[in-house]
Structures are given as C-alpha cells and as structure tokens.
Chains A and B, each alone.
Chain A
Amino acid sequence: MKSWYNDPNMLGRHFLVYSEKAPRVKRQYTICSSMGTEVRAALLELARSAGKRDIEFNYRIMLGQDTSSIDLTLKTYGVAKGLATRIHQSQVINKAQVGEEGKSEFKDDSVYFIKGPMGRGLQMQPSGLHVAFCAGTGVLVFLDLVAHLLILNVFNATGRDLPEEMSRFYQPGFKLHLYVSF
C-alpha cells in the first residue's frame, strides 16, 4: 500500500479488511489518501500558496513509496455496539492523542488481513464533464480526485512538472462537478 497514488486509475478503488478470527466479516475501505495527516497538510499548504511565485509543497508525498502504516477515516454514529464507536472510545486513540500509556481493548496480537486494491475505481475519462453525487462519508471516494485537481491546477499555473501518471491522463477539458451533502 501507498500513502498516496499519482495514478488516476487508483482513485475510488478499495481494500478489504478482515481479521484472522472472523474472516467472514469483511469491511471495505476506499482509498482516500487526502485524509492522511501528512498528505492533507501538504495539500492545504499547496492551496494557500496558489497564485504566489514560490509555492510551498511537500513533494515527498508524491513519491509513491510503500508504507507499513495506514490512516483510516471512520465516522462514529454512536451505536452502542458499533465498531467505530468502540474505536473512537478506545484507549488506542486516547493514547495517540494524549501520549499516555493506556490499556487497549484491541489486542496487539490480533492478525488482520488487508486485501487489494479492488474494484474498478472511478472509471474516469481523460477529458469531459464528470458529475458526482455523494453524502457524508461518501465524499471520501472523491476527495483524492479533488486533490489531483488541486495539484494539477496549481502546478500548471506555475509551470511545474506533474507526476507522469497525472500529466499522461488528464487532458484539457477535464471537469468535475461535485454535489455533496453533509
């Protein structure tokens, strides 16, 4: 897995996550690199630099290196026995936030499998109008496309070279109209 994908064909694809103890219970996690802490910060910094002569951007995020850790974005609905509820309330998160040792209800010796990438992705065309409708966490499917357009527009405006996969795919006339409700 990678913390960022330059290849537009990876947008919208997903990974399957399941545990060794309950292999029949599988959860799908769509790739959304833009919500990763480091990537998100770099993108917002890039946006703030738009229009300036010298843009600030952490190019390291675009190197496409494999990573041994992943960021998961989970919304909790407060359901008593819900997985997201357990994770949001767990000592694992509290430990990360406050830097204190805590007893985890998630055992460290549990084995999880991550399978993928799967699915056909967004199946975009290199040019033309693309319209997307989404709500809530459904927006996560399209955020990396928003991020690609951000990089595309700022880099093109300042004459910087795009990653090869992006410059090869996106052609003039590519547009995205995003309808989203929260």
Chain B
Amino acid sequence: MALGLDLIEALTDVNKALGLDNFVAVIRLSKTSDSGSRQA
C-alpha cells in the first residue's frame, strides 16, 4: 500500500460521515493502469 494512504482515506471517510469539507484529497496511483486520478 502507498505510504500514508490509509490515513488520508480515513480522514476522507470521517469527513464524509460528518458532513465536513475541510479536506479534499486528489490521489493518483501510478501503478494501476486503469485508475488515472481520482478525487476522494
């Protein structure tokens, strides 16, 4: 797993659950050919 990605996704999930918008992560995973970039 990418370094620290679990923590980034954890905050994204927390904000989604709490309805907060003070964090946006745009993640690009270079090793997955079909993923491109995604906004969490």
Contacts and interface: CB of A to CB of B under 8 A. Distances in A.
A146 interface: yes
Given A146-B7, A174-B22, A182-B5, A47 B27 contact: no
A contact face: mostly helix, strand, loop, or mixed: helix
A139 B24 contact: no
A166 to B, nearest CB: 13
A44 B7 CA distance: 7
A35 B25 contact: no
Given A175-B21, A181-B30, A50 B7 contact: no
B15 to A, nearest CB: 6
Interface residues of A, number: 32
Contacts of A47: 7, 10-11, 13-14
B6 interface: yes
Contacts of B6: 44
Given A35-B4, A182-B29, 13 more contacts: A51-B17, A137-B3, A146-B11, A146-B23, A147-B7, A150-B10, A150-B14, A153-B14, A175-B23, A176-B23, A180-B8, A180-B28, A182-B27
Interface of B: 2-8, 10-11, 13-15, 17-18, 20-31, 37
14 contacts: A44-B6, A73-B3, A75-B3, A146-B11, A153-B15, A153-B20, A176-B22, A176-B23, A177-B23, A177-B24, A177-B26, A178-B26, A179-B28, A180-B27
